[in-house]
């Protein structure tokens, strides 16, 4: 009986989260159709989905698995480049729908594969050491992609790590991945509907995993590794499972990213450690292990600097102050006392208590 209650509770929570996304989607679509949405918001719809997906993906690693990863932008980068490469090659020979579907599968699959390959040696490490190694992997991926040159001509594909001339392309050949200049001319297949669908699928995957038997095993490892091992949980297997799913979902975010812009370059800004850290900020702010929180905080933190454009030169400075302020507000002892005193819930309950009297 109790078990059943639990189940319905988690199902309810899942439904609320999914429902939230669906409602937000419907509102946005109505606003778009009515022409009431600003160009900025219209342009931000897909990025919002992208960052919400990657925040959920990282929360699976940080919150559910309990390991700190500073390399998720690297997985996003892999998903982006592998899928963009595919889409570019089949730009003229396939219809947009099936091509994008395959691109998503490729991006997710290759990112998950890398997650698995990296996870095997790395997940033995713990804490900050794991964090620094994932950071290192992210940087390696970015660095290697920046010196990667792939071209295509009548003889097939050519590959080089030096420069575009070393490809020795025949006349009429085409450089697809041009080192730091990246891939230019990826078809723009991403749109808000697909983004929202992918976000819902991501949420379903992660929330179902959390509420399943493997999910409970993963959380048992997080809470007490030795105890989990002693009851016969296969630590390596479950850690790898969570980590590669997380990497694969990050890859999906990368696919959306690559097909939203016509140019794809691996810059420190979009795929470097700075981005990994930014994603971590979304997760921590939304609550570690709180999937719904990740979605909300990703949306707020992506919107915040855009809405602060009026501040002009002071925009990023104030953004950083807000960041520090939120952290202090959330965790500083004095702020905690203050919050207890003036919390909304308490005020509300006081009110209702009075009314009851």
Among the candidate windows 20-28, 86-94, 96-104, 143-151, which touches another protein by CB under 8 A? Answer: 143-151
Going residue by residue from 30 to 69, which x/- string records binding to another protein, judged by CB under 8 A?
--------xxx-xxx--x--------------x-----x-
Asked if 304 interacts with another protein (CB under 8 A), we say yes
When the beta carbons of 217 and 258 are compared against another protein, the nearer one is 258
Asked if 114 interacts with another protein (CB under 8 A), we say no
Asked if 132 interacts with another protein (CB under 8 A), we say yes
d(CA 206, CA 56): 8
3-state SS of the chain is: CHHHHHHHHHHHHHHHHHHHHHHHHHHHHHHHHHCCCCHHHHHHHHHHHHHHHHHHHHHHHHHHCCCCCCCHHHHHHHHHHHHHHHHHHCCCCCCHHHHHHHHHHHHHHHHHHHHHHHHHHHCCCCHHHHHHHHHHHHHHHHHHHHCCEEEEECCEEEEECCCHHHHCCCCCCEEEEEHHHCEECCCCCCCHHHHHHHHHHHHHHHHHHHCCHHHHHHHHHHHCHHHHHHCCCCHHHHHHHHHHHHHHHHHHHHHHHHCCCCEECCCHHHHCHHHHHHHHHHHHHHCCCCHHHHHHHHHHHHHHHHHHHHHHHHHHHHHHHHHHHHHHHHHCHHHHHHHHHHCHHHHHHHHHHHHHC
When the beta carbons of 242 and 301 are compared against another protein, the nearer one is 301
Asked if 143 interacts with another protein (CB under 8 A), we say yes
When the beta carbons of 345 and 357 are compared against another protein, the nearer one is 345
**Rg of the chain on CA atoms, in Å:** 22
Among 328, 337, 347, 348, binds another protein (CB under 8 A): 328
Binding residues among 329-348 for another protein as defined by CB under 8 A: 329-335, 339, 343-345
When the beta carbons of 57 and 133 are compared against another protein, the nearer one is 133
Among the candidate windows 92-100, 179-187, 190-198, 201-209, which touches another protein by CB under 8 A? Answer: 179-187
In the complex, least distance from residue 142 CB atom to another protein, rounded to whole angstroms: 9
When the beta carbons of 31 and 322 are compared against another protein, the nearer one is 322
When the beta carbons of 238 and 257 are compared against another protein, the nearer one is 257
Asked if 123 interacts with another protein (CB under 8 A), we say no
When the beta carbons of 70 and 110 are compared against another protein, the nearer one is 70
Among 174, 181, 191, 211, binds another protein (CB under 8 A): 181
Binding residues among 211-230 for another protein as defined by CB under 8 A: none
Among the candidate windows 81-89, 248-256, 318-326, 347-355, which touches another protein by CB under 8 A? Answer: 318-326
Pairing of strands 174-178, 156-160: unpaired
Binding residues among 230-289 for another protein as defined by CB under 8 A: 257, 260-263, 265, 267-270, 273, 277, 280-281, 284-288
Asked if 15 interacts with another protein (CB under 8 A), we say no
Among 58, 133, 207, 253, binds another protein (CB under 8 A): 133
Query: Is 343 buried (19+), middle (13-18) or exposed (0-12) by CB count in 10 A?
Result: exposed
């Amino acid at each position: 009986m109790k078990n059943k209650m639990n189940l319905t509770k988690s199902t309810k929570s899942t439904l609320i989260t999914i429902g939230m996304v669906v409602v937000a989607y419907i509102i946005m679509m109505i606003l778009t159709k009515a022409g009431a949405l600003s160009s900025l918001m219209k342009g931000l719809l897909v990025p919002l989905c992208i960052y919400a997906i990657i925040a959920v993906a990282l929360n699976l690693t940080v919150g559910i698995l309990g390991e700190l990863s500073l390399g998720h932008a690297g997985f996003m980068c892999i998903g982006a480049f592998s899928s963009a490469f595919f889409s570019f090659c089949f730009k003229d020979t396939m219809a947009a729908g099936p091509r994008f579907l395959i691109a998503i599968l490729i991006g997710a699959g290759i990112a998950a594969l890398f997650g698995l390959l990296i996870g095997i040696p790395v997940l033995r490490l713990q804490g900050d050491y794991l964090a620094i190694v994932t950071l290192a992997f992210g940087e390696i991926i970015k660095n290697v992609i920046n010196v990667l040159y792939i071209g295509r001509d009548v003889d097939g594909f050519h590959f080089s790590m030096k420069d575009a001339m070393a490809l020795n392309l025949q006349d009429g050949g085409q450089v697809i991945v041009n080192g730091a200049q990246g891939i230019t001319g990826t078809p723009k297949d991403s749109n808000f509907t697909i983004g929202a669908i992918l976000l819902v699928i991501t949420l379903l995957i992660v929330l179902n995993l959390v509420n399943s038997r493997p999910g409970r095993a993963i959380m048992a490892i997080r809470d007490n590794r030795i105890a989990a091992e002693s009851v016969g949980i296969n630590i390596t297997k479950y850690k790898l499972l969570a980590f590669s799913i997380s990497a694969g979902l990050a890859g999906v975010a990368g696919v959306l990213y690559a097909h939203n812009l016509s140019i794809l370059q691996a810059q420190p800004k979009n795929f470097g450690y700075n981005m990994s850290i930014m994603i971590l900020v979304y997760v921590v702010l939304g609550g570690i292990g709180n999937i719904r929180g990740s979605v909300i905080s990703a949306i707020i933190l992506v919107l915040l600097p855009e809405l602060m454009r009026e501040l002009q030169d002071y925009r990023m400075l104030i953004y950083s102050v807000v960041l520090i302020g939120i952290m202090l507000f959330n965790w500083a002892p004095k702020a905690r006392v203050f919050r207890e005193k003036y919390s909304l819930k308490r005020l509300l309950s006081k009110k209702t208590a009075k009314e009851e009297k």
